[in-house]
């Protein structure tokens, strides 16, 4: 055993469990690729100010959870706590919006970092798949992303998740609501830090998870009662498009999420089988973020889905993913000549797309066959000096136990045929 362990609040992905994470990532990415989203990858760290501006200086992410550090050159950097600000920064830096064909549709996958109190479903290092559609203000785009996430979850076999939907208004109507909410909050018995947060961004208080705060928020004004006509019409069209697509959702007038950049549409995917950490993903529209980062006005919308929590949700529902076997064929050589011949055949199999492995190291037949069983291979090729003298190898079906002699020169074609 190593003297070192994974840092607190982190985890290692190890086979066979890691195959679930790969399957979840692929299930989320597939509908995005089929809908015009191109893959983007950004650095694991960025300028601290990018997140302070983009995520919001009053958010817990910026004030408490970022891993920030100073380089030897004096630059203030932070490990990325979320993906949207980085993706938009990269798109602006590359001037993707000037290439025409808006919106710019991008998807990404990676690890993110927040200094949180570790618990099941909440880690200091976590994995997400995200999507961003940059440069278009269209209810159909909001609906598209919600529908694609719903499709991804259902493809995986998830059924017991819910979609919560709300509108946060825009720069025209939200200031009026903000003032009304601040007046309400000033009359509550809140601690000094929460009152300070209410002065900076009162919507953050609505997202406070503490029971004593939530009890006092009963009767707080709701943003939906302050929406301007344009925001009402926009939100209603999003609702209609989702409904027409057969995607069920619940209106949640108190949904604000934990990031300051959201405007108008905001949504969250929750799974009741995960306890207090019920959110498996979420997102919304962020029409003003580009300007906050020094770019032009680029209305945009996006989401991020947690791979870790999606895996937990699948386990909570008892969903068994159909995972491809890591190995279809396992080769067991008995002797040096067989080792040379079977290694060449394994190489041939791999080149034609068959997942094949080899018994490495000086193992006898019994030990090598144990490895073949553990590999999950459907077929095992065994050959010794006598087999090779006859120009054959022994092909064993690991499910039926049937064993047949196949010509050395025919084994690759035979396995291709059997495996389809």
Buried b (16+ CB within 10 A) or exposed e, 208-223: beeeebeebbeebeeb
Residues 156 and 291 in one domain: yes
Q: How far apart are CA 121 and CA 127, in angstroms?
A: 11
**Rounded Cα gap, residues 314 and 312, in angstroms:** 5
Measured distance CA(132)–CA(304) in Å, rounded: 9
pLDDT given for residue 74 in this prediction = 95
As a whole number of angstroms, the distance between CA 384 and CA 339 comes to 9
pLDDT band at 294 (very low <50, low <70, confident <90, very high): very high
pLDDT for 344 equals 97
- Answer with the one of 268, 289, 317 that is the final residue of a domain: 317
Which residue has tokens 């940059």? 134
The kind and range of the H/E element at 109 are strand 104-113
Round to whole Å and give the CA distance between 407 and 403: 13
Same domain for 128 and 66: yes
- Predicted pLDDT at 95: 97
Asked whether residue 378 is assigned to any structural domain, the reply reads yes
Q: Is residue 4 part of a domain?
A: no
- Structurally, the chain folds into a number of domains equal to 2
Q: Does any domain span residue 205?
A: no
| 400 and 251 belong to one structural domain | no
Q: Is the pLDDT of residue 8 over 80?
A: yes
In a domain, 38, yes or no: yes
Domain stop point among 317, 347, 382: 317
Helices and strands (H, E) in the chain, number of each type: 16, 16
In a shared domain, residues 36 and 84: yes
Lowest average pLDDT, out of 62-66, 109-113, 332-336, goes to 62-66
Task: Please tell me whether the peptide bond between 108 and the residue prior to it is cis, using omega within 30 degrees of 0.
Answer: no
Q: 127 falls in which pLDDT band (50, 70, 90)? A: very high
pLDDT of residue 81: 94
Domain presence at residue 221: no
Q: Is there a domain that residue 5 lies in? A: no
pLDDT at 99: 93
Residues 312 and 333 in one domain: no
**CATH code, domain carrying 415:** 3.40.50.800
Domain boundary pick from 297, 317, 337: 317
Residue 275 belongs to a domain: yes
Q: Give the chain's mean pLDDT.
A: 93
Mean pLDDT over 277-281 rounds to 90
Residue 302 sits in the same domain as residue 336? no
How, if at all, do strands 379-383 and 392-397 pair? antiparallel
Compute the distance between CA of residue 382 and CA of residue 341 in angstroms, rounded to an integer. Answer: 11
In this structure, the answer to whether residues 301 and 397 fall within a common structural domain is: no
Per-residue pLDDT at 289 exceeds 90: yes
Domain range spanning residue 381? Answer: 329-419
Q: Is residue 183 part of a domain?
A: no
Question: Are 119 and 268 found together in one domain?
Answer: yes
Of 18, 40, 30, nearest in space to 87 by CA: 40
Say which CATH number the domain at 67 has: 3.30.930.10
Q: Is the pLDDT of residue 5 over 90?
A: yes
In this structure, are residues 313 and 161 in contact, taking their beta carbons and an 8 Å threshold?
A: yes
Checking if the pLDDT of 58 tops 70, the result is no
- Tell me, yes or no, whether 87 and 132 share the same domain: yes
**Residue 308 and residue 338 in one domain:** no
Six token digits for residue 353:
């797309």
- Domain identity same for 67 and 139: yes
- Report the residue count for the chain: 420
Question: Where residue 259 falls among pLDDT bands split at 50, 70, 90?
Answer: low
245 and 338 belong to one structural domain: no
- 49 vs 256, higher pLDDT: 49
């Amino acid at each position: 055993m190593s003297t070192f362990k994974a840092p607190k609040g982190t985890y290692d992905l190890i086979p066979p469990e890691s195959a679930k994470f790969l399957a979840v990532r692929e299930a989320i990415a597939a509908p995005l690729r089929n809908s015009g989203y191109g893959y983007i990858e950004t650095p694991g760290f960025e300028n601290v100010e990018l997140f302070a501006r983009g995520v919001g200086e009053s958010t817990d992410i910026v004030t408490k959870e970022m891993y920030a550090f100073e380089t030897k050159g004096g630059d203030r950097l932070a490990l990325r706590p979320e993906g949207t600000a980085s993706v938009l920064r990269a798109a602006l830096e590359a001037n993707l919006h000037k290439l025409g064909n808006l919106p710019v549709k991008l998807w990404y996958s990676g690890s993110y970092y927040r200094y949180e109190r570790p618990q099941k479903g909440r880690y200091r290092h976590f994995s997400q798949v995200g999507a961003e559609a940059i440069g278009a203000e269209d209810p159909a785009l909001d609906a598209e992303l919600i529908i694609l996430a719903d499709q991804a979850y259902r493809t995986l076999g998830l059924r017991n998740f819910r979609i919560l939907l709300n509108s946060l208004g825009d720069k025209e109507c939200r200031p009026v609501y903000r003032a009304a909410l601040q007046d309400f909050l000033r009359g509550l018995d809140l601690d000094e830090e929460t009152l300070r947060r209410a002065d900076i961004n009162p919507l953050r208080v609505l997202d406070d998870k503490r029971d004593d705060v939530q009890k006092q928020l009963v009767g707080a004004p709701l943003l939906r009662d302050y929406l301007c006509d344009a925001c009402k019409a926009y939100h209603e069209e999003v609702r209609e498009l989702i409904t027409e697509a057969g995607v069920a959702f619940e209106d949640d007038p108190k949904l604000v999420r934990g990031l300051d950049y959201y405007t108008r549409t905001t949504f969250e995917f929750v799974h009741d089988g995960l306890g207090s950490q019920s959110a498996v993903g979420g997102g919304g529209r962020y029409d003003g973020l580009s300007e906050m980062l020094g770019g032009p006005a680029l209305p945009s919308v996006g989401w991020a889905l947690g791979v870790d929590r999606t895996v937990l949700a699948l386990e909570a529902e008892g969903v068994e993913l159909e995972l491809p076997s890591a190995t279809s064929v396992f080769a067991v050589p008995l002797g040096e000549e067989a080792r040379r011949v079977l290694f060449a055949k394994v190489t041939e199999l791999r080149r034609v797309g068959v997942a094949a492995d080899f018994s490495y190291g000086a193992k006898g037949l019994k030990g090598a066959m144990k490895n073949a069983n553990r590999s999950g291979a459907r077929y095992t090729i065994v050959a010794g000096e006598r087999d090779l003298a006859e120009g054959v190898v022994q092909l064993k079906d690991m499910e039926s136990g049937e064993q047949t002699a196949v010509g050395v020169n025919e084994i690759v074609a035979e396995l291709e045929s059997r495996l389809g």
